């Protein structure tokens, strides 16, 4: 009998399989997030303009998702800037401090879902590698180190780009950055049997441009984590 690779073992736990409708629920939430982004960009509010700093854009977007989710049939709640601090009960001190850009919580107890989302604004200037590096080290790495998705086995990264004609270039740049050996090692990336650590398009969620999976056995009590990567544009070209 073939042994399932560690890559493919992520999201195949009993918890995932037993949660009837979990995948469908997450797809519906992602659809809402993407459709709502597109609706906002048809006539962007001042705080959603590309010229605005990343925190202002993400804060407005998250708050708008929160205010409008009920009338779009989403059975859950979005929490902008959700605190992820943890305590060391033995030392009686804060063990970590942080907050996500937003977190979605389901309200159906039998299908409990918690989704942390981190958003990064990506530049596309020639030779611009810093924003791609920060996407990894100040975004994905927070999931890998258990700061985000503490009790979950999945999370999502969103890359914001200026225009739709740059989406593929940005996606390719992120994938290249994440597959470079030093970064892949830092992110504890899990590989398929063919050695690839990035799957494009995602095998699990149709809205994701690509997916990665990461080991977290260096953090006590954290399961390996699936990351879905989504690219959103501020304007259509």
pLDDT tens-digit map of 121-166: 998 765 556 778 899 999 999 999 988 988 888 999 999 999 999 9
User: Would the pTM of this model clear 0.75, i.e. be above it?
Assistant: yes
Distance (Å) of CA 153 to CA 9, 51, 158, 224: 11, 34, 17, 6
Which strands make up the sheet holding 76-80, listed edge to edge? 76-80, 102-106, 114-121, 154-163, 225-235, 210-214
| DSSP3 helix / strand / coil % (the chain, rounded to 5) | 40, 25, 40
For residue 27, count CB atoms less than 10 angstroms from its CB and return exposed for 0-12, middle for 13-18, buried for 19 or more: middle
- With a CB cutoff of 8 Å and minimum separation 6, the contacts of 71 are none
Query: What does the alpha-carbon distance between residue 232 and residue 189 come to, in Å, rounded to a whole number?
Result: 24
| Averaged confidence pLDDT in the chain | 84
The helix/strand/coil state of 132 is helix
Tens of pLDDT, residue by residue over 71-124, are 898 888 898 877 665 665 666 666 655 667 899 988 765 557 889 999 999 987
Find out whether the peptide bond into 202 is cis, omega within 30 degrees of 0. no
> Which of the two residues, 15 and 27, has the higher pLDDT score?
27
Query: What does the alpha-carbon distance between residue 155 and residue 147 come to, in Å, rounded to a whole number?
Result: 11
Distance (Å) of CA 188 to CA 55, 148, 181, 182, 223: 27, 15, 10, 10, 13
């Amino acid at each position: 009998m073939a042994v399932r690779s560690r890559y493919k073992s992520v999201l195949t736990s009993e918890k995932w399989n037993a949660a009837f409708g979990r995948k469908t629920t997450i797809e519906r939430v992602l659809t809402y997030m993407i459709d709502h982004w597109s609706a906002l960009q048809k006539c962007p509010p001042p705080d959603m303009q590309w010229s605005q700093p990343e925190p202002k854009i993400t804060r407005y977007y998250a708050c708008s998702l929160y205010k409008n989710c009920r009338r779009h049939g989403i059975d859950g709640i979005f929490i902008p800037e959700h605190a992820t601090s943890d305590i060391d009960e033995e030392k009686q001190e804060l063990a970590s401090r942080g907050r996500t850009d937003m977190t979605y919580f389901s309200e159906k107890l039998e299908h409990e879902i918690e989704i942390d989302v981190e958003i990064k604004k990506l530049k596309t200037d020639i030779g611009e590698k810093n924003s791609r590096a920060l996407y990894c080290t100040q975004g994905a790495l927070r999931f890998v180190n258990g700061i985000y998705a503490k009790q979950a086995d999945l999370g999502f990264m969103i890359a914001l780009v200026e225009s739709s004609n740059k989406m593929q270039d940005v996606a390719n740049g992120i994938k290249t950055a994440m597959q470079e050996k030093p970064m892949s090692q830092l992110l504890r990336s899990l590989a398929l049997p063919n050695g690839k650590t990035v799957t494009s398009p995602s095998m699990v969620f149709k809205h994701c441009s690509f997916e990665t999976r990461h080991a977290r056995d260096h953090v006590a009590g954290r399961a390996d984590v699936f990351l879905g990567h989504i690219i959103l544009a501020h304007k259509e070209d």
